Structure formats: structure tokens, C-alpha cells
Amino acid sequence: MKTYKYDVVIVGGGPAGLAAAVSAKKQQAKVAILERNGELGGILEQCIHAGFGLHVFKEELTGPEYAERFIDQVEDLDIDVFLNTMVLDITKDRHVSAICGEGVLHFEAGAVVLAMGCRERTRGAIRIPGDRGAGVFTAGIAQRYINLENMKPGTKAVILGSGDIGLIMARRLTLEGIEVEGVYEIMPYPNGLYRNIINCLDDFGIPLHLSTTITRINGKDRVHSVEVAKVDEHRQPIPGTEREIACDTVLLSVGLIPENELSRKAGVALDPVTKGPVVDENLETEVPGIFACGNVLHVHDVVDYVTTEAEEAGEKAALYAKNALKKSDASVAVHAEGPVRYTVPEFVDPEDGADKKIKFRVGAPIEKGVTVIKAGEKEVYREKKAHRFLPSNMEIHTLKCSAIAGVRGDLTVSVEE
Ligand SMILES: Cc1cc2nc3c(=O)[nH]c(=O)nc-3n(C[C@H](O)[C@H](O)[C@H](O)COP(=O)(O)OP(=O)(O)OC[C@H]3O[C@@H](n4cnc5c(N)ncnc54)[C@H](O)[C@@H]3O)c2cc1C
């Protein structure tokens, strides 16, 4: 068994892993990226549509173009990359075991960055009744078939879920000559970004049916129809509203789940809402020296935010490996309150002199509100301008360290209407 020693070992070579690696290397750390696929770039390699890079590069790039900018930097900086290398285990003391064509590899790491991304929820996860015929795909798998494998999944599709991948695939299927009957969303509001509703559905005349779900899939060998029904406020189908739609393909865009099997093995505590690791403001998990970023930490809608988060994680991991990560013993918890579903980070250090980036999402749309952060009863942050909050948009706010210096109680993040 080969053994390697690195300051920072990064698990996953998607946009999060790439940005973390570049940033750690800029801190003079010896860095390795371990990626199970045969190429770097993660999910971006199959996202051939434009819409990436608006924040980081101030231009609109396709997924592969965006990934290429970071892959070039990884090459220029001579960062070690292990492709076709699947990480199987991480221990609390940062021993990483992986398997590749040559056999088992062992890595001793000063710090580890978890950047494994997430996977799509499947039919089994949401338990749609009916026959088990072919023709039911997650939107990401259909995207891979069309964009990378040059295969056509069907001729007439119904899409369940209005997440961004489903919206983007509604457009892609139409462009490939596959009829999209409609997009069906169980919630009373769309789950994808507003720009994707306009660019992917409205521009192509594809109807979006809110408060509606698929109640049955028909077709023993191949899907031949689905039954859809309106749902009530408890998301239960309303009897009498069922209708049958002929189709041979069903695409599911019903959520993403962070890939945290390895995090669990490493003993990292997970947040029950994000399903990603609990982290402090350095993006360090509760296991010292193990950091997390990107979709494995919490699901991001825009890749640019993955990049900025991962740059931070990479820098902090490199500092940790060199015993140079500044921390005081003070730590206060950050709680989500009211309409706020979760926050990242879950802990901050009020005494380290650094401003805090607080990210969160709301559980349902709020027409007009402001973000308010309190320490006990004391207000320590209030957003100046009221705006619309949507579950699909991640909120990012900077909390001045001076506002919470000396605070001992927990912080709460809420939205006031
Ligand atoms: C279909 C789709 C469309 C999107 N469209 C847009 C868009 O238009 N604009 C936009 O800004 N964002 C978009 N996004 C979001 C953006 O692509 C993601 O936020 C981003 O890719 C997340 O980066 P990541 O590195 O965390 O995860 P990923 O890109 O998923 O990368 C994770 C990597 O880790 C590797 N890995 C996992 N487990 C292991 C292991 N055990 N060992 C080794 N390697 C491992 C995986 O193989 C993968 O390469 C889209 C996402 C999807 C899925």
C-alpha cells in the first residue's frame, strides 16, 4: 500500500475542490486532490448551458468553461491530482484511504477538505406509486445522457419538481426535439431561480403547474402515462382533480442530498436540516482539521458562491495544517429562527476580530422583509433595505465582529416582515 503525506488533502475535484486546492496552494501548502471520476470539474462537466461565473468572473460561462478556469490554475500551480481515485474512508486523525487502479492508497493529511458535492433524490426517495417501467430518470442523469453520452431519453416528457436542474432540462429536452408536456411542482411556488423560470420555461412556452404532483406512473415495460393531481395545503392529493397525461419519460428534479457517508465515517456531526456537516466560521467541522465546502456542506444554487466558500475553506485548512489558524476559546451558536430554515455556519467566534459571513435560506417565500440577527435580546445586525426572500435564493450577510465582541449568548437569525 502506497502512503503519501500532504498538508491538505481535498476529497472531490468539482468546483469546490478545485477552488479549495488553489487557495490552499497559495498559502504554500502541499496539496492533493482526490477525484473518483476520470476528469476534474464535477457536475459542471455536464452543464453545457450558460449561466456560470456572473459573480466571480463578471461574465457568463458554460459549466465546462467555468471549470476549465480552475483546472488551468490547478495545473499551473502544480497541484497533485489523483483521478479515478475513490476515497473510502477518513479517520478523525485525518488518515484518508482511497482506491484506484493501482490498489489502495493511504494519505496522511495535516488537514482534510470535504468537497464531495451531492446526489439527486430518486423516485424511491419520494415514493411515487405505480408501475416500474423504464423511462423514469433524475434530471441530472438525463442531462448526462444527452450532453455527454449523446443519448435521447425519450420523446415526450413530464417533469416533476421545479428545481433548477428540472428547469434547465425542460429547455434542453425541447432544444433536442423532445416534447415537454409540463413541469409539475407540489409546492405553491417554484423552487428554482427566477431567471431559470423565465429563460427555460416562459421563453419556450412550457407550462409550470404549481400545487400539483404526480400520483401514479403507468407502464409496465416503458412509461406510457402519468397521473397528476392538485394538492391541498398539506400537500395531499385532492380527490377528483386527477388527470392522465400520455408520456414516455418522467424526469425528477426533487432535491439534492449532500454526499456525507464519508463525513459520517470521520465522526463529523451533521446538521439535520442541511444534511451537511456542522461548521464554524472557518468552515471547520466539529472534528479538528476537517473542513467542508460546496454542495456537501449545503446545497448551493449558484456555483460562484461554491467557489468563494471553497476558497475560504482551502485557506483555513492550509493555515490549520501549519498551526497558524487563529482561534479564541470563545464560541457561540448561531440558530435559525422563524422563517429561516438553517444557517451556515452554526458556530462563530465573537473574539477573533474577523467579520462573519452568515448564510441562510427561508422555508417559504416572504414578499418583503429584512434580516435581523440578535444576541439574546440585543439586536446586533439589521439589514437596511427590505426585499423579497425566496427559498431558492441563498442569503449571505456580513456580521461585523465589533457588533458581537463580548457576546456570550447564542445568536439568532430571523427575517422580520
Ligand atoms: C444539473 C445541474 C445544473 C446546474 N446549473 C447551474 C447553473 O446554471 N449555474 C450555476 O451557477 N450553478 C449551477 N449548478 C450548481 C453547481 O453546478 C453546483 O453548485 C456545483 O457543481 C457544486 O460544486 P461541488 O464541487 O460542491 O460539487 P460537484 O460539482 O458535485 O463535485 C463533487 C466532486 O466530488 C467527487 N466525489 C464525490 N465523492 C467522492 C469520493 N468518495 N472520492 C473521490 N471523489 C468524490 C465527485 O465525483 C465530484 O467530481 C447546477 C448543478 C446541477 C447538478
Distance from residue 12's CA to the centre of ligand 1 (Å): 9
Claim to verify: residue 166 and residue 101 sit in the same structural domain: no
Last residue of a domain, one of 203, 220, 254: 254
Claim to verify: residue 11 and residue 61 sit in the same structural domain: yes
Last residue of a domain, one of 254, 269, 291: 254
Which numbered atom of ligand 1 lies nearest the CA of 12?
Answer: 34
Res 326: pLDDT = 83
Q: Residue 302 has what DSSP assignment?
A: S
Atom 8 in ligand 1: residue holding the nearest Cα? 51
Claim to verify: residue 220 and residue 138 sit in the same structural domain: yes
**Single pTM value for the model:** 0.95
Which numbered atom of ligand 1 lies nearest the CA of 303?
Answer: 11
Q: What is the rounded distance in angstroms from the CA atom of residue 239 to the CA atom of residue 227? A: 12
Q: What is the rounded distance in angstroms from the CA atom of residue 7 to the CA atom of residue 311? A: 16
Mutate to test the pocket of ligand 1, among 104, 145, 303, 306 (most ligand atoms within 8 A of CB): 303
Mutate to test the pocket of ligand 1, among 18, 33, 39, 43 (most ligand atoms within 8 A of CB): 43
* Model confidence pLDDT, tens digit, residues 196-240: 999 999 999 999 999 999 999 999 999 999 999 999 999 999 999
Res 84: pLDDT = 98
Question: Would you call 28 exposed, middle or buried from its count of C-beta atoms within 10 A (0-12, 13-18, 19+)?
Answer: exposed
- The domain of 13 spans 1-120+256-325
Those residues with Cβ within 8 angstroms of residue 256's Cβ, 6 or more apart along the chain or in another chain: 118, 119, 120, 121, 163, 295, 299
Claim to verify: residue 234 and residue 305 sit in the same structural domain: no
Claim to verify: residue 77 and residue 65 sit in the same structural domain: yes
Claim to verify: residue 415 and residue 305 sit in the same structural domain: no
Phi and psi angles of residue 412, each rounded to the nearest 5 degrees, phi first: -125, 140
Question: Would you call 103 exposed, middle or buried from its count of C-beta atoms within 10 A (0-12, 13-18, 19+)?
Answer: exposed
**Domain harbouring 187, CATH code:** 3.50.50.60
Claim to verify: residue 54 and residue 141 sit in the same structural domain: no
Res 151: pLDDT = 96
Last residue of a domain, one of 236, 254, 272: 254
Claim to verify: residue 287 and residue 345 sit in the same structural domain: no
Count of domains in the chain?
Answer: 3
* Model confidence pLDDT, tens digit, residues 47-96: 999 989 999 999 999 999 999 999 999 999 999 999 999 999 999 999 99
Res 377: pLDDT = 87
Claim to verify: residue 235 and residue 134 sit in the same structural domain: yes
Claim to verify: residue 216 and residue 263 sit in the same structural domain: no
Distance from residue 6's CA to the centre of ligand 1 (Å): 24
Claim to verify: residue 31 and residue 79 sit in the same structural domain: yes
Distance from residue 404's CA to the centre of ligand 1 (Å): 34
Claim to verify: residue 291 and residue 333 sit in the same structural domain: no
